[in-house]
Amino acid sequence: MSIWLPLLAFAFGSLLVTAVTYALTAKPANIDDRLRDVLGQQPTTPEERSASQDQIVSFLKRVGERLPKSPKDLGKIELRLVQAGNRGAEAVPVFLAIRVGCALALFTLCMTPLLSEPNLVTALAAGGFGYVMPGMLLARKAPLRHLRIGLALPDALDLMVVSVEAGLGLDQALARVGQELAFAYPDLSSELRLVNLELLAGKGRSEALRNLADRTGVDDLSSLVAMLVQTDKVGTSVAQSL
One digit per residue, pLDDT tens: the chain, 242 residues?
A: 444 444 445 555 555 545 544 444 444 444 445 544 444 444 444 444 466 777 777 777 787 777 777 777 787 888 888 888 787 778 888 888 888 888 888 888 888 877 677 778 888 888 888 888 888 888 888 888 889 988 989 898 889 888 888 888 888 888 888 888 888 888 888 888 888 888 888 888 888 888 888 888 888 888 888 888 888 787 777 777 77
Q: How many residues does the chain have?
A: 242
pTM of the model: 0.66
The whole-number pLDDT of residue 216 equals 86
Q: Please tell me whether residue 69 adopts helix, strand or coil conformation.
A: coil
The whole-number pLDDT of residue 5 equals 47
Rama region for 27: left / alpha / beta (φ>0; ψ in -120 to 50; rest): beta
107 backbone dihedrals φ, ψ, rounded to 5°: -65, -45
Contacts made by residues 63-71, CB under 8 angstroms, sequence distance 24+: 63/93, 63/97, 63/100, 63/101, 64/92, 64/93, 64/94, 64/95, 64/96, 64/97, 65/93, 67/93, 67/96, 67/97, 67/100, 69/96
Let me know: does 102 contact 20? Beta carbons within 8 Å.
yes
Q: How far is CA 177 from CA 80, 143, 169, in A?
A: 26, 23, 12
Rg (CA), the chain: 22
pLDDT digits (tens, 9 = 90+) for 147-181: 998 898 989 888 988 888 888 888 888 888 888 88
Let me know: does 134 contact 103? Beta carbons within 8 Å.
no
Q: Give counts: helices (H), strands (E), the chain.
A: 11, 0
Determine how many CB atoms are found less than 10 A away from the CB of residue 125.
14
The H or E element that residue 42 is part of is none
Determine how many CB atoms are found less than 10 A away from the CB of residue 142.
19
pLDDT digits (tens, 9 = 90+) for 208-220: 888 888 888 888 8
The conformation of residue 3, written as its DSSP 8-state character, comes to T
The whole-number pLDDT of residue 29 equals 43
Let me know: does 190 contact 169? Beta carbons within 8 Å.
no
User: Whole-angstrom Cα distance, residue 80 to residue 197?
Assistant: 22
The conformation of residue 235, written as its DSSP 8-state character, comes to T
Determine how many CB atoms are found less than 10 A away from the CB of residue 115.
12
Question: Furthest-apart CA pair in the chain: how many Å?
Answer: 75
Residue type, 143: P
Determine how many CB atoms are found less than 10 A away from the CB of residue 239.
16
